[in-house]
């Protein structure tokens, strides 16, 4: 019997030891999972900036899927990942303030809000280290700064304010989001918010936050990258830009379906039109110059009833849109691009981008988006600023001109000299059609932008011949891209001459 008791005791001790070792093993596993399961990602909200059109919606959802897969490998399935316009209000969301207002009400326990571009990729290990290192920061991203006075920032002092490059992502602390959201809920007008025009959301967000609280200045984070790095050190970086199926041949084929309409006036015929004719017009198979006078030598056309106005040009712009509508079937056009007579652009880059949209199925009014009284997310409207170029799909023009060939009352000019771009914004708002924004369109000259902003993606357009060299701008930014279309147009013209 003593031997049996001893054997039982030994078995008990062995089992106890095994259980204890198993318990220790489980404890180690628990400890290993704690940083993932209870760490920073459970107090984080991701926000993917997007737009309601099909192309941007698809890209934003792909970004969300990438994030979900990466989080799932870390054992996380509950971190909120919001797509702007789908999971948040859309009106004015591009200024960020309406999103902050929404987030502060819905996620009052979050520590971090991470704002991403639709093309962003996240390296979670690197980003986790960034968040741990910046535990006491409130606002950080890839910092830009103006090198000179620029009109788009109201000629503010250069290098004084750092602002984030949205393409690299940026982060706000939960406390900042909570405070700003509360202020917006309690006040119908705040001195530090853009109360009239919103032009450059990146700059205006940074300015508003630092005006509100001097300690909420943007901190530069070098691991938020504008381009992928081979050493995989980036915490956030952009995917390589994917095409929309364009090829050299498809760009050439589509070029015949785009009408480029240059809006000009007699005052600038001799000064500006020769520049356009020696630059991007050489690559545009269909280009027309609309003025208040017909000049056969320069090729300008006066549409019925169009007179010159010193400002606004609503009457001229709407006449161009109606001209496109009246001739679209005979000419087999699919796109209308309206440019100023001091706009410099790449025809090939423009057409490559248009491959991302269906002109016969989608209402597309595209360009560089500005806003009027939209920062609160409750009033106002967006509009495409005209200098960088305004694009209309064939269906968009049809939608505007459905009533017996006449504009809807919402789209009729209040006067011939009303601001055409703002008028069109009101028209779109009344029709319930959102503007499609592209950061590749530029209302100002290259020198008016931070160099890193322009290096992120290839620009499509710039604006203004004043105090700059438009020929050099075209040489530096666009001529190489347009050379195949230029050759195509030359061959097209030569074949017509032979006939």
pLDDT tens, residue by residue, 124-137 = 999 999 999 999 99
Check residue 496 and give its pLDDT: 59
d(CA 431, CA 434) in angstroms, rounded, equals 9
What pLDDT is stored for residue 164 in this prediction?
A: 98
Strand-pair partners of 367: 437
Q: What are phi and psi of 384, to 5 degrees?
A: -90, 120
- Percent pLDDT > 70 in the chain is 90
Q: Under CATH, which architecture does the 248-498 domain have?
A: Alpha-Beta Complex (3.90)
Q: Looking at the predicted structure, is the pLDDT value of residue 15 above 90?
A: no
How confident is the prediction for the chain on average, in pLDDT?
90
Q: What is the pLDDT of residue 396?
A: 97
Spatial contact of 181 and 103, defined as CB atoms under 8 Å apart:
yes
User: CA neighbours within 13 Å on the CB side: how many for 261?
Assistant: 26
Q: What is the rounded average pLDDT of the residues 59-73?
A: 96
Q: What is the pLDDT of residues 278-315, one digit of tens each?
A: 999 999 999 999 999 999 999 999 998 888 887 778 99
User: What are the boundaries of each domain within the chain?
Assistant: 42-238, 248-498
pLDDT score, position 6: 40
The per-residue pLDDT for range 322-340, each reduced to its tens digit, is 999 999 999 999 999 999 9
Please say whether the beta carbons of 280 and 346 come within 8 A. Answer: yes
The answer for residues whose C-beta is within 8 angstroms of residue 122's C-beta and 6 or more apart is: 66, 67, 70, 116, 235, 236
Q: What is the largest CA-CA distance in the chain?
A: 122
Cα(199)–Cα(466) distance, integer angstroms: 20
3-class SS of residue 81: strand
What pLDDT does residue 493 have? 83
Calpha distance 322→325 (Å, rounded): 5
pLDDT value at 2 more than 80? no
Contact of 332 with 461, CB cutoff 8 Å? no
Evaluate if residue 259 carries a pLDDT over 50.
Answer: yes
Burial tier of 11 (Cβ tally within 10 Å: 0-12, 13-18, 19+): exposed
Q: What is the pLDDT of residues 180-232, one digit of tens each?
A: 999 999 998 999 999 999 999 999 999 999 999 999 999 999 999 999 887 88
Q: Give the lowest-confidence range in 14-23, 73-82, 174-183, 232-241.
A: 14-23
Do 42-238 and 248-498 show the same overall fold?
yes
Q: What is the mean pLDDT of residues 434-446?
A: 97
Q: What pLDDT was estimated at residue 403?
A: 62
Return the CATH number of the domain spanning residue range 42-238: 3.90.550.50
pLDDT band at 13 (very low <50, low <70, confident <90, very high): very low
pLDDT tier at 40 (50, 70, 90 boundaries)?
confident
Question: Model confidence at 7, in pLDDT bands (50, 70, 90)?
Answer: very low
* Contact by Cβ (8 Å): 390, 424: yes
pLDDT of residue 17: 41
Mean pLDDT of 172-181: 97
- pLDDT grade, residue 351 (50/70/90)? very high
């Amino acid at each position: 019997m003593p031997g049996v008791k001893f054997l039982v005791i030994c078995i008990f001790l062995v089992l106890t030891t095994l259980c204890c070792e198993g318990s220790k093993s489980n404890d180690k596993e628990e400890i290993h999972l704690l940083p993932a399961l209870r760490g920073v990602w459970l107090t984080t909200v991701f926000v993917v900036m997007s737009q309601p059109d099909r192309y941007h919606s698809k890209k934003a959802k792909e970004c969300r899927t990438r994030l979900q897969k990466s989080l799932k490998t870390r054992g996380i399935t509950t971190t909120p990942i919001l797509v702007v316009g789908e999971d948040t209000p859309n009106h004015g969301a591009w200024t960020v303030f309406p999103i902050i207002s929404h987030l502060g009400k819905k996620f009052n326990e979050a520590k971090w809000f991470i704002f991403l571009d639709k093309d962003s990729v996240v390296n979670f290990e690197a980003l986790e280290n960034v968040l741990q290192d910046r535990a006491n920061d409130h606002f950080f991203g890839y910092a830009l700064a103006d090198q000179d006075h620029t009109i788009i920032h109201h000629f503010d002092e250069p290098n004084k304010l750092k602002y984030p490059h949205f393409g690299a992502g940026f982060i706000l602390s939960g406390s900042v989001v909570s405070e700003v959201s509360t202020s917006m809920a309690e006040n119908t007008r705040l001195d530090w918010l853009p109360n009239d025009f919103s032009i450059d959301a990146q700059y205006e967000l940074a300015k508003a936050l630092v005006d509100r609280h001097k300690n909420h200045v943007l901190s530069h984070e070098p691991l938020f990258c504008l381009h992928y790095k081979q050493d995989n050190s980036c915490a956030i970086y952009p995917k390589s830009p994917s095409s929309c199926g364009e090829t050299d041949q498809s760009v050439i084929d589509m070029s015949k379906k785009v009408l480029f309409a240059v809006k000009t006036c007699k005052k600038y015929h001799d000064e500006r039109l020769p520049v356009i004719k020696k630059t991007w017009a050489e690559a545009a198979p269909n280009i027309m110059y609309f003025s208040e006078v017909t000049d056969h030598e320069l090729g300008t056309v006066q549409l019925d009833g169009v007179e010159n106005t010193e400002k606004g040009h609503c009457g001229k712009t709407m006449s161009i849109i109606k001209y496109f509508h009246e001739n679209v079937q005979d000419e087999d056009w699919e796109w209308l691009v309206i440019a100023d007579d001091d706009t410099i652009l790449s025809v090939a880059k423009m057409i490559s981008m248009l491959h991302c949209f269906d002109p016969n199925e989608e209402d597309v009014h595209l360009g560089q988006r500005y806003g009027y009284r939209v920062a609160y997310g409750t009033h106002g409207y967006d509009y495409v600023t005209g200098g960088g170029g305004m694009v209309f799909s064939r269906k968009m023009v049809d939608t505007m001109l459905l009533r017996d060939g006449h504009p809807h009352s919402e789209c009729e000019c209040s006067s011939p000299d009303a601001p055409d771009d703002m008028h069109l914004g009101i028209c779109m708002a009344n029709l319930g059609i959102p503007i499609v924004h592209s950061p590749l369109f530029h209302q100002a000259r290259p020198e008016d932008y931070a160099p890193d902003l322009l290096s992120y993606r290839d620009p499509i357009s710039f604006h203004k011949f004043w105090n700059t060299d438009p020929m050099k701008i075209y040489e530096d930014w666009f001529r190489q891209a347009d050379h195949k279309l230029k050759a195509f147009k030359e061959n097209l013209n030569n074949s017509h001459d032979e006939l």
